[in-house]
Amino acid sequence: MKKSVCELFAGVGGFRCGLNNINSIEDLNRPEKWETVWFSQWEPADKKTQWAHSCYVNRFGDCKDLNGNYTTNDDINTVDKNTVPSHSLLVGGFPCQDYSVASSLATSKGLEGKKGVLWWDIRDMLEAKKAPFVLLENVDRLLKSPAKQRGRDFGIILACFRDLGYTVEWRVINAAEYGYQQRRRRTFIFAYKNSTEYAAQIKHAIKYNSMFGEEIKRHNMVHLIEQEGFFAKCFPVDATDGKKIKSGTLPMGIGELSDSFTFDFENSGVMKDGVIYTLKTFPKYDGKQITLGDIMEDGEIDKSFFIPEDKLYYTSPDIHHSDETRMQLEPEQRKTWQYIKGAKKINRKAANGHEYVFSEGAVPMIDEYDKPARTMLTSEGGFSRTTHIVRDKQTGAIRLLTPVEMERIQGFPSNWTEECLVHGEKVEMPLTKRRFMMGNALVVNLIKQMEPLLDEIISCEPEIELQYNIAEGIELEKETI
């Protein structure tokens, strides 16, 4: 089967970089191993310039749909999915702001939220184009969303795959636990049509038969999750107590599922024929650990990234907490990194007049060289507890991360987001946008690690020719001998 890709919610091309092992901008001069036949990137918040799309097009060029039109920067809700070229692999890091790690789970809105509804565009694309294989990425809290009905959203996603004839594997992967340069936990979903040769190979490998009793099925699914499955082969795990595997059945109706379904999903699992099997797994890795120090620039850094002394500390550097229940700080003192990252107690009053003490613990002010970077968020570089502050390698002075360092933390080539193609002209991407793009991206290294097995799986599939007749609005599928 041809290695063709449709990349939804493409950002600046993380999946494409990973699948084609792009390590530097110079690698764009060689042919790509995976052909991207269409992609979609539209950011409603960018009113004038679509910065992510412009960066993607600058690096890879644009793609026409089957009507010969450029629709890659249209709102995906408005795109006729039937006009998208057929593909063997659908990928995407679908938007997750409504239940992201940056917000409290208690305030998440899940699939009902403004971004979460975009899942249905993935579902519509699968229904229209019938991609044999799917690889998606989302935040780890997707498995527990929404707060008032834990597991409902992921259950809806699994039910959609079931109804379209797919088997699904998932795994929450922390990139740092497999040696990479960022502590970033993300849920990855791999789905494949039950009619594929790969599905038959998996059934044979785990000796699965639908007529087996439940205990045998559970044993087989443990074997799939720990050894024979897609994620087990890409990211090995230690053997577990297989008796702890949990199972459950998805309701047949999406409406019933939406109203009442809850389930305690673990970090690994599989859904087959509407039955869920889930197990908590633990990473197995003893190789090299890439650290923040390994990816930091060691040359001269522009002075604009350095933090003035009066913005670092308002008192002795040895003090890591403030107690404003005893003595209120001046506004300028609160505008220091020492304050924002330190532990604090503050008197507050609720809307109903109730008085209480707000408190939070300290976070390390300086990110050390010898550990992987913390999770990078879209707020990176802003005055926030989550922003990385580092000690410059050349001068020892304290500064913010550079765009190149942020790109390296996510596994992109250096200067990947430096330029964009806007109305046919190359322009410099603003620093705030470069920070946002990287906070919103995936760890490219993880896709690179999955690619060899994806290549093997799809290369072993018989060639399927998908022909789409736009005039008649029907798609014909036939096996090519």
Catalytic residues: 96
Question: Position of tokens 């699914």?
Answer: 221
φ/ψ region of 203 (left if φ > 0, alpha if ψ in -120 to 50, else beta) reads alpha
Instruction: State both tokens at 65.
Output: 């749909």
Give the bridge partners for 186, in sequence order: 139, 173
User: What is the Cα–Cα distance from 29 to 160, expressed in whole angstroms?
Assistant: 39
Candidates 188, 94, 191, 97; CA nearest to 143 is 188
Q: Is residue 297 packed enough to be buried (19+ CB in 10 Å), middle (13-18) or exposed (0-12)?
A: middle
Name the residue with tokens 């079931």: 162
DSSP 177-235: GGT-SB--EEEEEEEEETTSHHHHHHHHHTT--TTS-HHHHHHHHHHIIIIISHHHHHS
> Any idea which residue has 């604090």 for tokens?
344
Contact 1, 464 (CB under 8 A): yes
- Name the E strands within 240-336: 246-249, 268-272, 275-279, 321-323
Are 387 and 379 within 8 A, CB to CB? Answer: yes
Dihedral sign computed on CA atoms, order 259, 262, 268, 272? negative
